Structure 1
């Protein structure tokens, strides 16, 4: 899968920092969030492609059809030539019908699929112990509370 960059909105008010990520079609189980000691929040995940799944389904169906064909051909050898010709043509017809039903031709694919990872520097006045996140309708909302920034201690250097 290729990588994609979900759309992100960053904002803040007097009390909080907000991160909104557009992740259509994804659930909270498909999204991972980590924060490291350098105060970098990373949001990552993977959105599976519907297009790839339908291709894989077609390939699997073709393999199953080929297995059935091999079994049928073995049985056909035991039958008369007339029955054998009829069965082979029916198998070919069924295989062609199955392929027509399983093929999906896309004219336009605008949806983004694949893995993603986005990282953000978290300000010094953010409370790393109190981060809230929720996923609703394909939108991840992260809320980080603000706290009093650490006071700088002035030191004289000689």
Structure 2
């Protein structure tokens, strides 16, 4: 017979993970909480597209770098809400750093990469280089 320890909070913890687990919270070496934004990537005919969900992150807090054939997207979000009422005072704040890295394919035109941010979504467009197809040369067998 298998004995299982009863945990009255297990279901509550599972519900909490489902509701708030969208951005797992971690802490960095400074104790500041970090989050890992979700990313969508797609390949078009002329470019690769990387879309990053960054709700609450200002454009000036987003950094995009190219290093050793990698695209590095990083930044920090901060949120502070202060509410004063007649009978109570409430302050909520959250801070988080993030960094995501992507290896770039060889055919990316690194000189013409563009990025834009709108409604909490960052889109990075990585244009493809035009690769000319090599001409096939026939070799005669003797």
Which TM-score band (shorter chain)? 0.5 to 0.7
Structure with greater helix percent: 1
Could you say what secondary structure the match of 1:126 adopts?
coil
Map 1:102-113; keep pairs closer than 5 Å.
Answer: 102-103=89-90, 113=95
Decide whether aligned partners of structure 1 residues 147 and 19 sit closer, same or farther in structure 2, where only a CA change above 3 A counts: same
Relative to the length of structure 1, the TM-score reads 0.56
- State TM-score, norm by structure 2: 0.62
| Cα-Cα RMSD | 3.0
Residue matched to 2:72:
42
Aligned residue pair count:
102
Structure 2: runs of 5 or more not aligned: 1-31, 134-142
SS at match of 1:29: helix
Tell which structure's C-alpha radius of gyration is larger.
Answer: 1
Higher RCO structure (Cα 8 Å, ≥6 apart): 1
- After superposing on structure 2, the runs of 4+ consecutive aligned residues of structure 1 that deviate more than 2 Å are 148-151
Q: Where does structure 1 lack aligned partners over 5 or more consecutive residues?
A: 59-96, 107-111, 152-158
